Structure 1
Amino acid sequence: MEHNAKLVSSEVAALWHAYMQNSMAYCIVQHFAAVNEDSDAIDLIQTALTNCNFVVNEVKQIFENENHAIPIGFTQEDVNIKAGRLYSDLFTLRYIKYMAAAGTAAAAALLEVLARKDARDLFSKTSKMFMELYNEACDLLLKKGAFVRSPTIAPMEKAEYLQSESFLSGLLGKHRPLTAIELAHISKNTETNSIGRTFVSGFSQTAKSPEVRNYMERGTEIAAKHETVFREVLIEDGVPLPSTWDSTISQSLDAPFSDKLMMFQTNSLTAISVAGYGAAIGASLRKDLGGHYTRLVAEILQYANDGVKLMIENRWMEQPPQNVDREALRNRSV
């Protein structure tokens, strides 16, 4: 007999998260599609829309079959297709590249906690779809000479073992050169802050709520500060600075996205930053880098916590699936 197991907590969490992220991304890319003037990007944008829509519909089908509540997520009420351009077409390409990379990584990581075949099939296909989208975005950015590369280093002359604990130094005095893996994490985290800074700058300009505008302005300052920290590390090490992300923002005050969507996207970006800084701490052996990341993580966590409070106050924070509150049930039955 075929064993039709119920969804377990890890599977529900993975599916719920995928629905929320892809319904949001679909709205964002819809706006990009409406204002796009780059003929080279038409197919890429359509593929991004197709991928997001596929994930949303597949998750919805699984939840319906399980009599599980469908998330509210994000709908046409959260995007204004008629709004004027806020970001450049080049930013669209970079957002799709960034979104595709995040989707690929998330889908691959979630496979480890999935048992049911339909869930594994969905995330296996999702990983492949977004990996292909990522490569297409990279190819187009390279074609346009707009791919932001990490710094270059000289080739290693020979492989050898470390002979001194001074390799770990960096808090005081002279420190050893950055390793390739440390440079890779600095570049990645600079990129995350750059795209986040551009996003929230536009959000601060178009948000309807004064509280949201102030929150986005604060996010712009934090992202710029973190970029400066990473760039100063590269300058001190004599490493050529990578090119910057396109941060062109129009003067439009017409919001293409709802305040709810803007807050959720910002919350997602802060979560990615925290994960990126955490990975960097584990991979960085220079003590000064660990100190930087630890300090910056604390600042991001506080910012994210304030954002969650603001979302809850405005009833924009959708409750994720959770275990039954037994104590509440007992109290209700008394």
Structure 2
Amino acid sequence: MSQDERNLEKKSDHIQLTSGDIAPLWGGYFSDSMVNCVLKHFLHTVEDNEIKPIIEFALGLTIEHLEFTNKLFKEEEFPIPLAFTEKDVNLNAPRLFSDGYMLLYLRHMGIAGTVSYGMALASSSRQDIRAFYNQNLKTAAQLLEKSTAILQSKGILTRSPFIPYPDSVEFVHKESWLNGLLGDRRPLNAVEITNLYLNIMKNSIGQALMLAFSQVAENKDVIAYIVRGRDISSKHVEVFSALLRDDQLPAPTTWETEVSNSKVSHFPIS
């Protein structure tokens, strides 16, 4: 049967996926399949009984996402992405990350989810896709809250820097204010401090993750590629942290020490 004949058999009120529907579904499928492998390793090696239920919650979400997208693509006769599977994680490998790093990773999942699902909701037009991302937004916020609360209770939640409250309202009078981070720069404002802090945290999590991956990967080309990514993240952390310290503000600590020295292939990549 030709594609035209198949299209004729579909319901007359069927709405084809738009590019705004396809893009986040396609990208999300790869992301969920990769995170699924990482979370399975977390679940197999976590020691803290407070953290384990949050990993199980997050893993359940990635499974739901993959099932929804698989079903949708099949119904639309859209090619299923060739993504990560259970063959890409070795559950017999020893522990690679500390419980603290696992919890921080879960919080980052919540942060990234609220951002990416909000953008996906804005770009999607079909009702079933919008409902999917509406639900994902809610569960990402739940994951963020659960992980943040445990980090806080354990005293390992890294906060953005405290700054003095302003005494009065101020206005910008010169366009040069926008270029104030170059040359004889002005003090950082709250928006800039927040963005620097978030970018340091994001790159620090990636830095530790890529350090771990570079230890356990086996293919030399793959290792070189991962190390390059790790070094880029390290440079970003260095530059952003220096900007904070120049204003006598604390920079978040990095997380490389939360990676074990295991060399076993946890995530078989060849």
Kept in 2: contact 1:149–1:243 (CA 8 A): no
User: Structure 2 CA distance, aligned partners of 1:70 and 1:121?
Assistant: 21
Pairing 1:159–2:156 present? no
Q: Could you report, residue by residue, the CA deviation over 1:51-102 in whole angstroms, capped at 9, with x for unpaired residues?
A: 0001100111111111222222111111111111111111111111111211
Kept in 1: contact 2:106–2:147 (CA 8 A): yes
Partner of 2:247: 237
Partner of 1:41: 51
Q: Could you report, residue by residue, the CA deviation over 1:226-263 in whole angstroms, capped at 9, with x for unpaired residues?
A: 21111111121121333444632212111211327xxx
Partner of 2:235: 225
Unpaired runs of 5+ residues, structure 2, are: 1-10
Instruction: Compute the displacement of 1:193 (Å).
Output: 1.3
Q: Could you report, residue by residue, the CA deviation over 1:287-321 in whole angstroms, capped at 9, with x for unpaired residues?
A: xxxxxxxxxxxxxxxxxxxxxxxxxxxxxxxxxxx
Partner of 1:269: none
Alignment partner for residue 171 of structure 1, among 165, 182, 185? 182
Q: Could you report, residue by residue, the CA deviation over 1:255-285 in whole angstroms, capped at 9, with x for unpaired residues?
A: 211327xxxxxxxxxxxxxxxxxxxxxxxxx
Number of aligned residues = 259
| TM-score, normalising length: structure 2 | 0.90
Counterpart secondary structure, 1:127: helix
Q: CA RMSD in A?
A: 1.7
Pairing 1:112–2:129 present? no
Partner of 2:196: 186
Partner of 1:215: 225
Instruction: Describe the shift of the 1:97–1:35 C-alpha distance in structure 2 as closer, same or farther (beyond 3 A).
Output: same
Counterpart residue type for residue 150 of structure 2: L
Percent identical across equivalent pairs?
33
Partner of 2:6: none
Kept in 2: contact 1:86–1:251 (CA 8 A): yes
Tell me which moved more, 217-226 or 195-204.
217-226
User: Structure 2 CA distance, aligned partners of 1:4 and 1:191?
Assistant: 43
User: Structure 2 CA distance, aligned partners of 1:163 and 1:23?
Assistant: 50
Kept in 1: contact 2:197–2:251 (CA 8 A): no
Tell me which moved more, 214-223 or 136-145.
214-223
Alignment partner for residue 32 of structure 1, among 42, 45, 56? 42
Kept in 1: contact 2:33–2:66 (CA 8 A): yes
Counterpart secondary structure, 1:39: coil
Kindly report which structure 2 residues correspond to 1:293-332, keeping only aligned pairs within 5 A, or say none: none
Counterpart secondary structure, 2:20: helix
Alignment partner for residue 131 of structure 2, among 121, 146, 150? 121
Kept in 2: contact 1:91–1:247 (CA 8 A): no
Counterpart secondary structure, 1:259: coil
Counterpart residue type for residue 64 of structure 1: K
User: Structure 2 CA distance, aligned partners of 1:24 and 1:237?
Assistant: 38
Counterpart residue type for residue 182 of structure 2: L
Instruction: Describe the shift of the 1:57–1:154 C-alpha distance in structure 2 as closer, same or farther (beyond 3 A).
Output: same
User: Structure 2 CA distance, aligned partners of 1:133 and 1:245?
Assistant: 21
Kept in 1: contact 2:89–2:267 (CA 8 A): yes
Counterpart secondary structure, 1:81: coil
| TM-score, normalising length: structure 1 | 0.74
User: Structure 1 CA distance, aligned partners of 2:256 and 2:100?
Assistant: 7
User: Structure 2 CA distance, aligned partners of 1:5 and 1:46?
Assistant: 35
User: Structure 1 CA distance, aligned partners of 2:212 and 2:169?
Assistant: 47
Kept in 2: contact 1:191–1:245 (CA 8 A): no
Kept in 1: contact 2:201–2:252 (CA 8 A): no
Tell me which moved more, 4-13 or 180-189.
4-13
Unpaired runs of 5+ residues, structure 1, are: 261-334
Counterpart secondary structure, 2:199: helix
